[in-house]
Amino acid sequence: MSVSRFIAAAILATALILPHADAGEVAFSERRSGSTFMAPETQAMQSNDTANPGMLGVLDGATLWGKTIGAAEKSCASCHNDASTSMSGVAARYPAFDDTLKRPVDLEQRVNLCRVDHQRAPPLAYESRELLALTALIGRQSRGLPIAGGTDPRLTPFVDKGRATFMRRQGQLNLACTNCHDDNWYKRLAGSAITQAHPTGYPLYRLEWQGLGSLQRRLRNCMVGMRAQPYDADAPEMVELELYLMSRARGMPIETPAVRP
């Protein structure tokens, strides 16, 4: 049996035991990072920068940060100087409201907007090594700081839209995100722990992927497993879902680059 068919069969088996009525969101007092569900060995890998494979992406990002590119012949450092100071706390508040676009943009989109508007360079492809490296570098500067996603009042309607997507049943399996991550987070699926979907460490290094991946990649994986049509990378629905997840993780510390099984 192929991996995708195995995952679908496991989700379908779980769906049969899910409650018919949604139980609601995880209580504030019960919130847990995905790292708390991991084996001690994986937790140790994440906490040790010399063993954390995601740090290789951070190092790549530091190199790209100082590289001059585009028609404007600018680097990220040309405007933002040292990332360790200028980027502190930035990842903790994204997705953020963009005054020009009048909608939220996630960190990947912000990097590409800077490239196009200020460096006069082409945008980076989603899940490309370069984009993951730059967002890992930026995220690393917020490690340990509390997530502040969704605090801007202008984001409220977009948070509500993201929540509606999280709660809506979809796909051939007729599942909603909340069915696993709110109703059954204390159980296991195909041997893996069902976590609460708090995006505390993206981009993160997933042992299954053998590389860094964004929150959007993880969301698309879930949608495919539910036999639902994944949203495009730049779709408003995807950014709204990211925003909602960050808002419900508000106050939890950033772990980027996190490690997950």
CA–CA–CA angle 56, 211, 115 (5° rounding):
70
Q: Using alpha carbons, select from 90, 99, 94 the residue that is nearest to residue 109.
A: 94
Q: What is the DSSP string of 58-69?
A: HHHHHHHHT--B
* Nearest-angstrom CA–CA distance, 12 and 180: 12
Q: Are 48 and 41 in contact (CB under 8 A)?
A: no
What whole-number distance in Å separates Cα of residue 20 and Cα of residue 16?
9
Say which amino acid occupies 138: I
CB burial of residue 165 (10 Å; 0-12, 13-18, 19+): middle
Catalytic residue (one of 76, 177, 180, 222): 222
Catalytic annotation present for 114: no
How many alpha carbons fall within 13 Å on the CB side of residue 82? 2
Q: Which residues are catalytic?
A: 222
